[in-house]
Structure 1
Amino acid sequence: MAFNELYQYSLISALMDGVASHGTPIARVLEHGDLGLGTFRCMDGEMIVVDGEAYQIKADGSAVHVDPETTVTPFAAVTRFRATATRKAAVSGMAGLEELLNSIFPKSRNHFLAVRMDGAFKKINSRSVAGQLKPREGMVDVCSRQTIKTFEAVKGTIAGFRCPAYAMGLNVVGDHFHFITEDRQRGGHILLASGFETDGDVEIEAAQLSKFYLELPTEDDEFDSATLKLQAQGIKKVME
Structure 2
Amino acid sequence: MAKNEVFQFSLISALMDGVASHGTPISRVLAHGDHGLGTFRNMVGEMIVVDGEVYQMKHDGSVIHVNPEDTITPFATVTRFQATTKTKASVTGKKDLKELLTRLFPSSKNHFLAIRMDGVFRKINFRTAGGQCRPREGMVDVCARQAEHTFEGEKGTIVGFRCPEYVMGINVAGDHLHFISEDRQRGGHILSFETDGEVEVGISQMSNFHLELPTEDEEFNTAALAKDEKGIKAVEG
TM-score normalized by structure 2?
A: 1.00
Alignment of 1:19-168 (within 5 A): 19-168=19-168
Shift of 1:226: 0.3
1:110 alignment partner, SS class: coil
Shift of 1:122: 0.2
For residues 200 and 168 of structure 1, what CA distance do their matches in structure 2 show?
A: 33
Q: 1:229 aligns with which of 217, 226, 230?
A: 226
For residues 96 and 86 of structure 1, what CA distance do their matches in structure 2 show?
A: 17
Shift of 1:217: 0.2
For residues 137 and 91 of structure 1, what CA distance do their matches in structure 2 show?
A: 36
For residues 99 and 227 of structure 1, what CA distance do their matches in structure 2 show?
A: 35
For residues 110 and 125 of structure 1, what CA distance do their matches in structure 2 show?
A: 28
Shift of 1:21: 0.1
Shift of 1:234: 0.3
For residues 210 and 129 of structure 1, what CA distance do their matches in structure 2 show?
A: 31
For residues 97 and 124 of structure 1, what CA distance do their matches in structure 2 show?
A: 14
Q: Deviations over 1:45-82 (max 9, x none)?
A: 00000000000000000000001000000000000000
Shift of 1:163: 0.4
Shift of 1:149: 0.2
Q: 2:236 aligns with which of 230, 235, 239?
A: 239
For residues 37 and 135 of structure 2, what CA distance do their matches in structure 1 show?
A: 22
For residues 151 and 72 of structure 1, what CA distance do their matches in structure 2 show?
A: 29
Which residue pairs with 2:5 in the alignment?
5
TM-score normalized by structure 1?
A: 0.98
1:180 alignment partner, SS class: strand
Gaps in structure 2 of 5+ consecutive residues: none
Shift of 1:223: 0.2
The share of aligned pairs that are identical, in percent, is 68
Q: Which runs of 4+ in 1 moved over 2 A?
A: none
For residues 74 and 35 of structure 1, what CA distance do their matches in structure 2 show?
A: 17
Shift of 1:12: 0.0
Which residue pairs with 2:184 in the alignment?
184
Which residue pairs with 2:199 in the alignment?
202
For residues 154 and 119 of structure 2, what CA distance do their matches in structure 1 show?
A: 8
2:88 alignment partner, SS class: strand
For residues 154 and 160 of structure 2, what CA distance do their matches in structure 1 show?
A: 19
Count residues with an aligned counterpart: 237
Q: Deviations over 1:72-101 (max 9, x none)?
A: 000000000000000101000001101110
1:223 alignment partner, SS class: helix
For residues 137 and 97 of structure 2, what CA distance do their matches in structure 1 show?
A: 33
Shift of 1:233: 0.3
For residues 68 and 162 of structure 2, what CA distance do their matches in structure 1 show?
A: 25
Shift of 1:237: 0.3
Q: Deviations over 1:138-166 (max 9, x none)?
A: 00000000000001000000001000010
For residues 95 and 235 of structure 1, what CA distance do their matches in structure 2 show?
A: 18
For residues 198 and 173 of structure 2, what CA distance do their matches in structure 1 show?
A: 27
Which residue pairs with 2:216 in the alignment?
219
Q: Deviations over 1:160-212 (max 9, x none)?
A: 10000100100000010000000000000001xxx100000000000001100
